[in-house]
Structure 1
Amino acid sequence: MKIVIENLGKRFNREWIFKNFNFTFEQGNCYAIVGPNGSGKSTLMQVLWGMVPPS
Structure 2
Amino acid sequence: MILKVLVSFCPKLRGQSGITEFDDKLVRKLIEKATVYNDRLVVEFKSGLEIEVNL
User: Structure 1 length normalisation: TM-score?
Assistant: 0.22
Q: Computing the radius of gyration over CA atoms, which structure comes out larger, 1 or 2?
A: 1
By relative contact order (CA 8 Å, sep 6+), the higher-ranking structure is: 1
Which structure features the higher share of strand residues? 1
